[in-house]
Amino acid sequence: MQLRELEWFTTLAETEHMTEASLRLHVSQPTLSRALARLERKVGVKLFDRHRNGLRLNKYGEIFQAHALRAMNEIDRGEERIATLVDPDRGSVSLGFIHSFGAWLVPDLLNRYRRHAPSTSFELRGGACDSVVDDVRQGHVDIGFVAPEPVSDDLDWIPLGREHLSLGVPPGHVFEGRDQVAIADLAHEPMIALRAGFGLRQVTDRLCREAGFSPRVEIEVTELSTLRALVAAGMGVAVVPASRAGRPSEPGIPSIPFSDPTAFRHYGAVIRRGGPGGQAARRFLSFVARESKRVAQADGPSGEKVLGAALTAAG
């Protein structure tokens, strides 16, 4: 079965009209009609019901359409992978990241990388920390940007820096105006937090546990924007990423630094053991490690060392 036959069939299945499909494909109606007849002889059944006003995909055609689209997609992916190996700058890189990194870390990295490899394309997928890690592990994305470092034996971690945390409070809250606040001061405060599985929630629970109490989480959410909006509405306080230089603070809620020296989260890139397979992803990963000047975990290996070991193992 030729790829052209699959392309013609899927166009017919989409339009359900011989004239419209022939115009779109730039082939004559008789040629298209003969191609459909050959295809139906090969599969052994009619794929369309014929009507006076055109064609209608039948149940056999619907089944064949699903497989045809899948086959064409796999061929496209194969061509893309070969093109990436031949010319890494033209390849595609898939990235996963926790939602908050979509506001600063990912745009900053992509903006700087585009200056070196403007032809590289990116597929982006935001999610909870656990979801991003699972996507990396299953090969759904090449590289994940998460915080904190996941506990895993089958993944490599490249530390990129650490992000300080602060306390978001409603306007007029008793804490507003303080220069600092301690984690222990939150022991009796109603809190808003991300759901379990999100990196910021893991860090929040750890900080509270180290301060000797369990957080009074009264509302759980899945997005930082919703969390901040609920804080602004007076529903509680929340541990949030501190404002960064060059990144405007979120409007509507005062943010108070923590006095606790451990009130931060390490962030970095997570990859499958041995690194991603595509040349475009490997080149982008090298750039990430090379560009990062704020290496986390001072007592651990640098991002460059971890990356070197990973890419060596991958061959």
pLDDT tens for the chain, 315 residues: list them. Answer: 578 888 999 999 999 999 999 998 899 999 999 999 999 999 999 999 988 778 899 999 999 999 998 888 888 777 766 766 666 667 789 999 999 999 899 999 999 999 888 888 899 999 999 999 999 998 899 999 999 999 888 899 999 998 999 999 999 999 999 999 999 999 999 999 999 989 999 999 999 999 999 999 999 999 999 999 999 999 999 999 997 655 544 556 889 999 999 999 999 999 998 888 788 888 899 999 887 654 433 434 444 444 444 444 433
92-315, CATH topology level: D-Maltodextrin-Binding Protein; domain 2 (3.40.190)
Spatial separation of the C-alpha atoms in residues 188 and 83, rounded to whole Å: 58
Residues of the chain with CATH 3.40.190.290: 92-315
CA distance readout (Å), 253 to 162, 195, 264? 23, 21, 19
Q: What is the pLDDT of residue 79?
A: 75
Residues of the chain with CATH 1.10.10.10: 3-86
Q: What is the pLDDT of residue 295?
A: 44
Q: What is the pLDDT of residue 245?
A: 59
Spatial separation of the C-alpha atoms in residues 162 and 207, rounded to whole Å: 15
Find out if CATH 3.40.50.300 is the number for domain 3-86: no
Q: What is the pLDDT of residue 310?
A: 44
Q: What is the pLDDT of residue 87?
A: 66
* Strand pairing class (143-146; 264-272): antiparallel
Spatial separation of the C-alpha atoms in residues 208 and 88, rounded to whole Å: 45
